[in-house]
Structure 1
Amino acid sequence: MKFKSSFFLFFFLLTSVSFAYINVYPLSFDQRIDSMGGVKDFILTNTTNKVIKYQINILKNDDTNDMTSWTEIYPRTLTLKPGAKGEIKMYTRAPKGTVLGEYSTILNIKELEVPKERRNKKNSVDVFTNLKIKLYGYVGKLDSSISLKNIKVFKGKNISNIKLNGVLKNESLRRVNLEIVLADSNEKNSILISETKLKKGEEIDLSNLKVFKDSRDEDKNYSKLEYIYIYEKGAGKFLKKEKIGS
Protein backbone atom coordinates (compact mmCIF):
# COMPACT_ATOMS: atom_id res chain seq x y z
CA MET A 1 0.00 0.00 0.00
CA LYS A 2 1.22 3.67 -0.84
CA PHE A 3 0.47 6.73 0.98
CA LYS A 4 1.45 10.50 0.14
CA SER A 5 3.71 11.54 3.03
CA SER A 6 6.67 13.99 2.86
CA PHE A 7 9.72 14.21 5.08
CA PHE A 8 11.69 17.46 5.30
CA LEU A 9 15.02 17.37 7.12
CA PHE A 10 16.17 20.57 8.76
CA PHE A 11 19.70 21.63 9.64
CA PHE A 12 22.87 20.35 8.01
CA LEU A 13 25.20 17.80 9.53
CA LEU A 14 28.16 19.19 11.41
CA THR A 15 30.16 16.85 13.65
CA SER A 16 27.67 14.18 14.60
CA VAL A 17 23.97 13.75 13.95
CA SER A 18 21.17 12.29 16.03
CA PHE A 19 18.50 10.95 13.65
CA ALA A 20 14.83 10.86 14.61
CA TYR A 21 11.71 9.93 12.69
CA ILE A 22 8.02 10.15 13.38
CA ASN A 23 6.17 6.93 14.07
CA VAL A 24 2.40 7.39 13.79
CA TYR A 25 -0.45 4.95 13.14
CA PRO A 26 -2.80 4.71 11.33
CA LEU A 27 -1.85 6.70 8.23
CA SER A 28 -5.40 7.18 7.00
CA PHE A 29 -8.67 8.82 8.09
CA ASP A 30 -11.26 7.55 5.56
CA GLN A 31 -14.35 8.52 7.57
CA ARG A 32 -17.76 9.78 6.52
CA ILE A 33 -17.74 13.42 7.63
CA ASP A 34 -21.32 14.62 7.14
CA SER A 35 -24.16 14.11 9.65
CA MET A 36 -22.41 13.43 13.00
CA GLY A 37 -18.96 13.82 11.48
CA GLY A 38 -15.96 11.51 11.47
CA VAL A 39 -13.55 10.77 14.34
CA LYS A 40 -10.23 8.95 14.41
CA ASP A 41 -7.46 8.44 16.97
CA PHE A 42 -3.82 8.35 15.89
CA ILE A 43 -1.09 6.84 18.07
CA LEU A 44 2.25 8.64 18.06
CA THR A 45 5.24 6.66 19.39
CA ASN A 46 8.66 7.99 20.34
CA THR A 47 10.96 5.18 19.20
CA THR A 48 14.15 7.14 19.88
CA ASN A 49 16.35 7.27 22.99
CA LYS A 50 15.64 10.94 23.73
CA VAL A 51 12.76 13.15 24.81
CA ILE A 52 10.95 14.63 21.80
CA LYS A 53 8.38 17.39 21.56
CA TYR A 54 5.92 17.25 18.67
CA GLN A 55 3.90 20.09 17.16
CA ILE A 56 0.64 18.93 15.56
CA ASN A 57 -1.33 20.92 12.98
CA ILE A 58 -3.89 20.56 10.22
CA LEU A 59 -2.83 22.20 6.95
CA LYS A 60 -4.83 23.29 3.93
CA ASN A 61 -3.88 21.52 0.69
CA ASP A 62 -4.27 22.29 -3.00
CA ASP A 63 -7.31 20.06 -3.56
CA THR A 64 -10.55 21.79 -4.56
CA ASN A 65 -12.42 19.66 -2.02
CA ASP A 66 -10.57 20.72 1.13
CA MET A 67 -11.90 19.86 4.61
CA THR A 68 -9.28 21.68 6.70
CA SER A 69 -11.64 24.40 7.94
CA TRP A 70 -14.03 21.73 9.25
CA THR A 71 -11.33 19.75 11.07
CA GLU A 72 -10.25 19.89 14.72
CA ILE A 73 -7.13 18.26 16.16
CA TYR A 74 -6.14 17.69 19.79
CA PRO A 75 -3.65 18.12 21.33
CA ARG A 76 -1.57 20.67 19.44
CA THR A 77 1.67 19.61 21.14
CA LEU A 78 2.94 16.40 22.72
CA THR A 79 6.16 15.75 24.63
CA LEU A 80 7.09 12.08 24.81
CA LYS A 81 9.83 10.29 26.70
CA PRO A 82 11.77 7.49 24.95
CA GLY A 83 9.42 4.59 24.18
CA ALA A 84 6.30 6.51 25.24
CA LYS A 85 3.08 6.75 23.23
CA GLY A 86 0.69 9.66 22.83
CA GLU A 87 -2.80 9.95 21.34
CA ILE A 88 -3.91 12.47 18.72
CA LYS A 89 -7.64 12.92 18.16
CA MET A 90 -9.02 14.22 14.87
CA TYR A 91 -12.64 15.25 14.29
CA THR A 92 -14.14 16.49 11.00
CA ARG A 93 -17.71 17.52 10.35
CA ALA A 94 -18.86 18.94 7.02
CA PRO A 95 -21.50 21.72 7.05
CA LYS A 96 -25.03 20.90 6.00
CA GLY A 97 -25.51 21.13 2.27
CA THR A 98 -21.92 20.14 1.43
CA VAL A 99 -21.73 18.54 -2.01
CA LEU A 100 -21.33 14.75 -2.06
CA GLY A 101 -17.80 13.60 -2.69
CA GLU A 102 -14.32 13.05 -1.29
CA TYR A 103 -12.50 15.72 0.73
CA SER A 104 -8.99 16.00 2.14
CA THR A 105 -6.66 17.76 4.56
CA ILE A 106 -3.06 17.38 5.71
CA LEU A 107 -2.02 16.17 9.16
CA ASN A 108 1.32 17.81 9.96
CA ILE A 109 3.50 16.44 12.78
CA LYS A 110 6.76 18.28 13.38
CA GLU A 111 9.56 17.50 15.83
CA LEU A 112 10.70 20.43 17.97
CA GLU A 113 13.82 20.99 20.00
CA VAL A 114 13.52 20.36 23.74
CA PRO A 115 15.72 22.97 25.48
CA LYS A 116 16.66 20.72 28.41
CA GLU A 117 17.73 17.96 26.03
CA ARG A 118 19.74 20.45 24.00
CA ARG A 119 21.76 21.61 27.03
CA ASN A 120 22.80 18.03 27.73
CA LYS A 121 24.43 17.60 24.31
CA LYS A 122 27.78 18.71 23.03
CA ASN A 123 29.12 18.94 19.49
CA SER A 124 25.98 17.53 17.92
CA VAL A 125 23.19 18.66 15.65
CA ASP A 126 19.74 17.09 15.60
CA VAL A 127 17.90 16.37 12.39
CA PHE A 128 14.25 17.27 12.93
CA THR A 129 11.51 15.53 11.01
CA ASN A 130 8.47 17.25 9.53
CA LEU A 131 5.85 14.71 8.47
CA LYS A 132 2.86 15.62 6.28
CA ILE A 133 0.13 12.99 5.78
CA LYS A 134 -2.71 13.62 3.37
CA LEU A 135 -5.97 12.37 4.88
CA TYR A 136 -9.35 11.84 3.22
CA GLY A 137 -12.97 11.88 4.32
CA TYR A 138 -16.18 11.78 2.33
CA VAL A 139 -19.66 13.26 2.29
CA GLY A 140 -22.67 11.10 1.45
CA LYS A 141 -23.33 7.38 1.41
CA LEU A 142 -20.58 6.59 -1.06
CA ASP A 143 -20.63 2.79 -1.15
CA SER A 144 -17.40 0.97 -1.97
CA SER A 145 -17.39 -0.99 -5.21
CA ILE A 146 -14.68 -2.77 -7.20
CA SER A 147 -14.34 -4.83 -10.37
CA LEU A 148 -12.01 -7.69 -11.28
CA LYS A 149 -10.97 -8.73 -14.78
CA ASN A 150 -8.98 -11.70 -16.03
CA ILE A 151 -8.25 -12.85 -12.49
CA LYS A 152 -5.76 -15.68 -12.07
CA VAL A 153 -3.91 -16.85 -8.99
CA PHE A 154 -0.95 -19.21 -9.20
CA LYS A 155 -0.59 -20.88 -5.82
CA GLY A 156 2.25 -23.35 -6.12
CA LYS A 157 3.17 -25.51 -3.15
CA ASN A 158 3.24 -22.80 -0.49
CA ILE A 159 2.78 -19.07 0.07
CA SER A 160 6.20 -18.27 -1.35
CA ASN A 161 4.97 -19.36 -4.77
CA ILE A 162 1.74 -17.34 -4.91
CA LYS A 163 1.41 -15.01 -7.91
CA LEU A 164 -1.50 -12.74 -8.75
CA ASN A 165 -2.65 -11.75 -12.23
CA GLY A 166 -5.56 -9.67 -13.46
CA VAL A 167 -6.91 -6.13 -13.25
CA LEU A 168 -8.47 -4.60 -10.14
CA LYS A 169 -10.40 -1.33 -10.45
CA ASN A 170 -11.99 0.92 -7.87
CA GLU A 171 -15.49 1.75 -9.12
CA SER A 172 -16.32 3.82 -6.01
CA LEU A 173 -16.68 7.60 -5.79
CA ARG A 174 -14.03 7.61 -3.05
CA ARG A 175 -10.74 5.87 -2.31
CA VAL A 176 -10.84 2.38 -0.79
CA ASN A 177 -8.41 0.39 1.32
CA LEU A 178 -8.56 -3.30 0.36
CA GLU A 179 -7.53 -6.67 1.77
CA ILE A 180 -7.06 -9.63 -0.60
CA VAL A 181 -7.63 -13.07 0.93
CA LEU A 182 -7.39 -16.66 -0.30
CA ALA A 183 -9.94 -19.03 1.26
CA ASP A 184 -12.19 -21.99 0.62
CA SER A 185 -15.87 -21.65 -0.30
CA ASN A 186 -16.87 -21.17 3.36
CA GLU A 187 -14.20 -18.52 4.01
CA LYS A 188 -12.36 -20.93 6.29
CA ASN A 189 -8.69 -21.93 6.16
CA SER A 190 -8.13 -18.40 4.85
CA ILE A 191 -4.96 -16.40 4.45
CA LEU A 192 -4.40 -12.69 3.86
CA ILE A 193 -2.11 -12.45 0.85
CA SER A 194 -2.03 -8.74 0.01
CA GLU A 195 -3.36 -5.25 0.67
CA THR A 196 -3.74 -2.19 -1.51
CA LYS A 197 -5.28 1.27 -1.50
CA LEU A 198 -6.93 2.66 -4.64
CA LYS A 199 -7.99 6.18 -5.47
CA LYS A 200 -11.38 6.91 -7.02
CA GLY A 201 -11.45 5.27 -10.46
CA GLU A 202 -7.91 3.88 -10.12
CA GLU A 203 -7.04 0.62 -11.87
CA ILE A 204 -4.05 -1.59 -11.07
CA ASP A 205 -2.42 -4.75 -12.39
CA LEU A 206 -2.51 -7.36 -9.60
CA SER A 207 0.86 -8.71 -10.68
CA ASN A 208 2.41 -5.49 -9.29
CA LEU A 209 1.08 -6.10 -5.78
CA LYS A 210 3.37 -7.38 -3.07
CA VAL A 211 2.28 -10.82 -1.85
CA PHE A 212 2.76 -11.37 1.88
CA LYS A 213 5.10 -14.23 2.72
CA ASP A 214 4.52 -15.29 6.31
CA SER A 215 6.40 -18.40 7.45
CA ARG A 216 3.53 -19.25 9.82
CA ASP A 217 1.40 -20.07 6.78
CA GLU A 218 3.90 -22.28 4.99
CA ASP A 219 2.06 -25.44 6.03
CA LYS A 220 -1.44 -24.34 4.98
CA ASN A 221 -3.44 -26.73 2.81
CA TYR A 222 -3.54 -24.73 -0.42
CA SER A 223 -5.46 -27.35 -2.36
CA LYS A 224 -8.74 -26.14 -0.78
CA LEU A 225 -8.11 -22.41 -1.22
CA GLU A 226 -10.02 -22.03 -4.47
CA TYR A 227 -11.49 -18.54 -4.02
CA ILE A 228 -10.15 -15.01 -3.80
CA TYR A 229 -12.05 -12.66 -1.50
CA ILE A 230 -11.66 -8.89 -1.38
CA TYR A 231 -12.73 -6.85 1.66
CA GLU A 232 -12.68 -3.19 2.53
CA LYS A 233 -10.08 -2.89 5.26
CA GLY A 234 -11.24 -1.27 8.48
CA ALA A 235 -14.90 -1.55 7.53
CA GLY A 236 -14.71 -5.36 7.27
CA LYS A 237 -17.04 -5.13 4.30
CA PHE A 238 -17.07 -7.97 1.76
CA LEU A 239 -16.77 -6.64 -1.79
CA LYS A 240 -15.90 -9.45 -4.21
CA LYS A 241 -15.49 -13.22 -4.49
CA GLU A 242 -13.98 -15.04 -7.48
CA LYS A 243 -13.19 -18.70 -8.01
CA ILE A 244 -9.57 -19.19 -8.97
CA GLY A 245 -9.20 -22.98 -9.23
CA SER A 246 -6.39 -25.04 -7.79
Structure 2
Amino acid sequence: MGNIGQSIALIGGPLLAHRFGIAAPFLLFGLASLTWGIVFAIFARNARGKRVPKTIGQNFKFLRRTKLAWVLSLFYSLTFGGFVTLSIYLPTIYQETFSINSTTAGALTATFVIVATACRPFGGWVSDRIGGRKLLLIVLLGVFLIGWTLAIQSMLLFTLGSIGSAVLLGLGNGGVFKLVPEYFPKQTGTVTGLVGAAGGLGGFFPPIFLGVMKDMMGSYTFGFLALSLFGLICAGVLCITFLEVNPPNSTVPSR
Protein backbone atom coordinates (compact mmCIF):
# COMPACT_ATOMS: atom_id res chain seq x y z
CA MET A 1 0.00 0.00 0.00
CA GLY A 2 2.92 2.34 0.63
CA ASN A 3 4.08 1.84 -2.95
CA ILE A 4 0.57 2.59 -4.20
CA GLY A 5 0.44 5.86 -2.26
CA GLN A 6 3.81 6.91 -3.62
CA SER A 7 2.68 5.99 -7.12
CA ILE A 8 -0.54 7.99 -6.84
CA ALA A 9 1.42 11.00 -5.60
CA LEU A 10 3.96 10.66 -8.40
CA ILE A 11 1.39 10.44 -11.18
CA GLY A 12 -1.48 12.46 -9.74
CA GLY A 13 0.47 15.30 -8.13
CA PRO A 14 1.70 16.92 -11.36
CA LEU A 15 -1.71 16.47 -13.00
CA LEU A 16 -3.49 18.20 -10.11
CA ALA A 17 -0.91 20.98 -10.02
CA HIS A 18 -1.26 21.56 -13.77
CA ARG A 19 -5.06 21.55 -13.67
CA PHE A 20 -5.82 23.35 -10.39
CA GLY A 21 -2.60 25.07 -9.34
CA ILE A 22 0.50 24.18 -7.34
CA ALA A 23 -1.34 24.24 -4.00
CA ALA A 24 -3.94 21.63 -5.03
CA PRO A 25 -1.93 18.41 -4.42
CA PHE A 26 -0.75 19.64 -1.03
CA LEU A 27 -4.27 20.60 0.06
CA LEU A 28 -5.60 17.24 -1.10
CA PHE A 29 -2.81 15.40 0.72
CA GLY A 30 -3.53 17.37 3.89
CA LEU A 31 -7.25 16.59 3.67
CA ALA A 32 -6.57 12.88 3.07
CA SER A 33 -4.17 12.78 6.04
CA LEU A 34 -6.71 14.47 8.30
CA THR A 35 -9.46 12.08 7.18
CA TRP A 36 -7.40 8.97 7.80
CA GLY A 37 -6.18 10.39 11.11
CA ILE A 38 -9.79 10.69 12.28
CA VAL A 39 -10.61 7.18 11.03
CA PHE A 40 -7.56 5.80 12.82
CA ALA A 41 -8.40 7.58 16.08
CA ILE A 42 -11.93 6.14 16.03
CA PHE A 43 -11.26 2.55 15.02
CA ALA A 44 -7.63 1.71 15.91
CA ARG A 45 -6.98 -0.48 18.95
CA ASN A 46 -3.79 -1.59 20.65
CA ALA A 47 -2.78 -5.23 20.33
CA ARG A 48 -3.90 -7.50 23.14
CA GLY A 49 -1.44 -8.33 25.86
CA LYS A 50 0.86 -6.05 27.76
CA ARG A 51 4.55 -5.66 27.12
CA VAL A 52 6.82 -3.29 28.97
CA PRO A 53 7.90 -0.68 26.40
CA LYS A 54 11.61 -0.15 25.91
CA THR A 55 13.17 3.26 26.11
CA ILE A 56 14.70 4.99 23.10
CA GLY A 57 18.13 4.41 24.62
CA GLN A 58 17.51 0.67 24.90
CA ASN A 59 16.35 0.52 21.28
CA PHE A 60 19.43 2.38 20.06
CA LYS A 61 21.67 0.11 22.12
CA PHE A 62 20.03 -2.91 20.52
CA LEU A 63 20.51 -1.51 17.01
CA ARG A 64 24.16 -0.64 17.66
CA ARG A 65 25.02 -4.26 18.41
CA THR A 66 22.78 -5.91 15.81
CA LYS A 67 24.53 -5.94 12.45
CA LEU A 68 21.79 -7.89 10.67
CA ALA A 69 19.37 -5.00 11.17
CA TRP A 70 21.81 -2.69 9.38
CA VAL A 71 22.36 -5.24 6.64
CA LEU A 72 18.61 -5.41 5.99
CA SER A 73 18.60 -1.62 5.92
CA LEU A 74 21.33 -1.71 3.28
CA PHE A 75 19.25 -4.05 1.12
CA TYR A 76 16.10 -1.95 1.49
CA SER A 77 17.99 1.21 0.63
CA LEU A 78 18.65 -0.48 -2.72
CA THR A 79 15.27 -2.10 -3.36
CA PHE A 80 12.93 0.66 -2.19
CA GLY A 81 15.43 3.44 -2.85
CA GLY A 82 15.88 2.15 -6.39
CA PHE A 83 12.12 2.12 -6.88
CA VAL A 84 11.77 5.73 -5.72
CA THR A 85 14.77 6.86 -7.76
CA LEU A 86 13.56 5.38 -11.02
CA SER A 87 10.01 6.57 -10.38
CA ILE A 88 11.35 10.11 -10.13
CA TYR A 89 13.97 10.03 -12.86
CA LEU A 90 12.49 7.88 -15.62
CA PRO A 91 10.44 10.69 -17.23
CA THR A 92 13.51 12.93 -17.36
CA ILE A 93 15.75 10.19 -18.74
CA TYR A 94 13.26 9.21 -21.44
CA GLN A 95 12.85 12.80 -22.57
CA GLU A 96 16.49 13.87 -22.35
CA THR A 97 18.18 10.70 -23.61
CA PHE A 98 15.66 9.33 -26.09
CA SER A 99 13.82 12.55 -27.03
CA ILE A 100 10.30 11.21 -26.57
CA ASN A 101 7.34 13.36 -25.55
CA SER A 102 6.20 13.78 -21.97
CA THR A 103 3.02 11.73 -22.49
CA THR A 104 4.91 8.65 -23.65
CA ALA A 105 7.53 9.12 -20.94
CA GLY A 106 4.77 9.34 -18.33
CA ALA A 107 3.10 6.17 -19.64
CA LEU A 108 6.38 4.23 -19.51
CA THR A 109 7.04 5.48 -15.99
CA ALA A 110 3.53 4.53 -14.91
CA THR A 111 4.17 1.03 -16.27
CA PHE A 112 7.32 0.79 -14.16
CA VAL A 113 5.46 1.94 -11.04
CA ILE A 114 2.52 -0.44 -11.56
CA VAL A 115 4.77 -3.45 -12.17
CA ALA A 116 6.96 -2.72 -9.13
CA THR A 117 3.92 -2.18 -6.92
CA ALA A 118 2.27 -5.41 -8.09
CA CYS A 119 5.45 -7.42 -7.51
CA ARG A 120 5.93 -6.35 -3.90
CA PRO A 121 3.24 -8.62 -2.36
CA PHE A 122 4.30 -11.33 -4.78
CA GLY A 123 7.80 -11.01 -3.31
CA GLY A 124 6.40 -11.82 0.12
CA TRP A 125 4.55 -14.82 -1.32
CA VAL A 126 7.69 -16.15 -3.01
CA SER A 127 9.70 -15.58 0.18
CA ASP A 128 7.25 -17.76 2.10
CA ARG A 129 8.04 -20.59 -0.29
CA ILE A 130 11.75 -20.38 -1.05
CA GLY A 131 12.98 -18.21 1.81
CA GLY A 132 13.63 -14.48 1.94
CA ARG A 133 17.41 -14.87 1.80
CA LYS A 134 17.34 -16.92 -1.37
CA LEU A 135 14.93 -14.51 -3.03
CA LEU A 136 17.06 -11.51 -2.08
CA LEU A 137 20.18 -13.16 -3.47
CA ILE A 138 18.40 -13.69 -6.80
CA VAL A 139 17.14 -10.09 -6.75
CA LEU A 140 20.52 -8.54 -5.95
CA LEU A 141 22.36 -10.52 -8.61
CA GLY A 142 19.57 -9.61 -11.02
CA VAL A 143 20.04 -5.91 -10.22
CA PHE A 144 23.74 -6.29 -10.97
CA LEU A 145 23.00 -7.76 -14.40
CA ILE A 146 20.10 -5.54 -15.35
CA GLY A 147 21.94 -2.36 -14.39
CA TRP A 148 24.05 -2.86 -17.51
CA THR A 149 20.98 -2.74 -19.76
CA LEU A 150 20.00 0.58 -18.19
CA ALA A 151 23.46 1.94 -18.93
CA ILE A 152 23.24 1.16 -22.67
CA GLN A 153 21.99 4.01 -24.87
CA SER A 154 19.21 1.99 -26.49
CA MET A 155 15.58 2.80 -25.80
CA LEU A 156 14.49 -0.82 -26.30
CA LEU A 157 17.09 -2.20 -23.89
CA PHE A 158 16.52 0.63 -21.43
CA THR A 159 12.76 0.06 -21.41
CA LEU A 160 13.17 -3.69 -20.98
CA GLY A 161 15.72 -3.01 -18.25
CA SER A 162 13.40 -0.62 -16.43
CA ILE A 163 10.56 -3.17 -16.45
CA GLY A 164 12.97 -5.87 -15.30
CA SER A 165 14.15 -3.55 -12.54
CA ALA A 166 10.54 -3.00 -11.49
CA VAL A 167 10.05 -6.75 -11.10
CA LEU A 168 13.29 -7.22 -9.15
CA LEU A 169 12.88 -4.21 -6.88
CA GLY A 170 9.27 -5.08 -6.11
CA LEU A 171 10.21 -8.66 -5.24
CA GLY A 172 13.13 -7.41 -3.17
CA ASN A 173 10.93 -5.08 -1.13
CA GLY A 174 8.69 -8.00 -0.22
CA GLY A 175 11.70 -10.19 0.55
CA VAL A 176 13.25 -7.70 2.99
CA PHE A 177 10.10 -7.43 5.06
CA LYS A 178 9.77 -11.18 5.14
CA LEU A 179 13.13 -11.31 6.95
CA VAL A 180 12.50 -8.53 9.50
CA PRO A 181 9.96 -10.39 11.69
CA GLU A 182 11.68 -13.69 10.97
CA TYR A 183 14.97 -12.57 12.50
CA PHE A 184 13.62 -10.01 14.97
CA PRO A 185 10.31 -11.35 16.31
CA LYS A 186 10.62 -9.35 19.54
CA GLN A 187 12.06 -6.16 18.03
CA THR A 188 10.05 -6.01 14.79
CA GLY A 189 8.92 -2.42 15.32
CA THR A 190 12.40 -1.10 16.07
CA VAL A 191 14.03 -2.84 13.13
CA THR A 192 11.18 -1.95 10.78
CA GLY A 193 11.69 1.72 11.66
CA LEU A 194 15.40 1.50 10.86
CA VAL A 195 14.84 -0.39 7.61
CA GLY A 196 12.10 2.00 6.50
CA ALA A 197 14.31 5.01 7.21
CA ALA A 198 17.07 3.46 5.12
CA GLY A 199 14.62 3.04 2.26
CA GLY A 200 13.73 6.72 2.48
CA LEU A 201 17.39 7.71 2.38
CA GLY A 202 17.91 5.30 -0.49
CA GLY A 203 15.32 7.24 -2.45
CA PHE A 204 16.88 10.61 -1.60
CA PHE A 205 20.56 10.32 -2.47
CA PRO A 206 20.58 8.33 -5.76
CA PRO A 207 18.63 10.99 -7.71
CA ILE A 208 21.24 13.53 -6.62
CA PHE A 209 24.00 11.13 -7.63
CA LEU A 210 22.42 10.52 -11.05
CA GLY A 211 22.16 14.27 -11.60
CA VAL A 212 25.80 14.80 -10.65
CA MET A 213 26.90 12.00 -13.00
CA LYS A 214 24.84 13.52 -15.81
CA ASP A 215 26.45 16.93 -15.26
CA MET A 216 29.98 15.51 -15.02
CA MET A 217 29.88 12.79 -17.68
CA GLY A 218 27.14 14.00 -20.00
CA SER A 219 24.98 10.88 -19.54
CA TYR A 220 23.41 8.68 -16.89
CA THR A 221 25.52 5.66 -17.86
CA PHE A 222 27.95 5.82 -14.94
CA GLY A 223 25.09 6.28 -12.49
CA PHE A 224 23.47 3.04 -13.62
CA LEU A 225 26.79 1.22 -13.61
CA ALA A 226 27.17 2.33 -9.99
CA LEU A 227 23.69 0.90 -9.28
CA SER A 228 24.80 -2.36 -10.86
CA LEU A 229 27.94 -2.47 -8.71
CA PHE A 230 25.92 -1.69 -5.59
CA GLY A 231 23.70 -4.70 -6.33
CA LEU A 232 26.77 -6.94 -6.55
CA ILE A 233 28.17 -5.55 -3.29
CA CYS A 234 24.86 -6.19 -1.53
CA ALA A 235 24.82 -9.76 -2.86
CA GLY A 236 28.28 -10.28 -1.39
CA VAL A 237 27.18 -8.84 1.96
CA LEU A 238 24.17 -11.16 1.93
CA CYS A 239 26.36 -14.21 1.36
CA ILE A 240 28.71 -13.21 4.17
CA THR A 241 26.12 -12.29 6.80
CA PHE A 242 22.87 -14.13 6.14
CA LEU A 243 23.31 -17.42 4.33
CA GLU A 244 24.96 -19.09 7.31
CA VAL A 245 22.71 -17.55 9.98
CA ASN A 246 19.33 -19.06 10.83
CA PRO A 247 16.48 -17.09 12.40
CA PRO A 248 16.06 -17.35 16.19
CA ASN A 249 14.57 -20.66 17.35
CA SER A 250 14.65 -21.96 13.77
CA THR A 251 14.85 -25.71 13.23
CA VAL A 252 14.90 -25.33 9.46
CA PRO A 253 18.25 -25.32 7.64
CA SER A 254 19.35 -21.99 6.24
CA ARG A 255 17.88 -21.37 2.80
Task: Give the structure-2-normalised TM-score.
Answer: 0.22
Highest CA radius of gyration, 1 or 2? 1
Q: Which has the higher contact order (CA 8 A, sep 6+)?
A: 2
Task: Give the structure-1-normalised TM-score.
Answer: 0.23
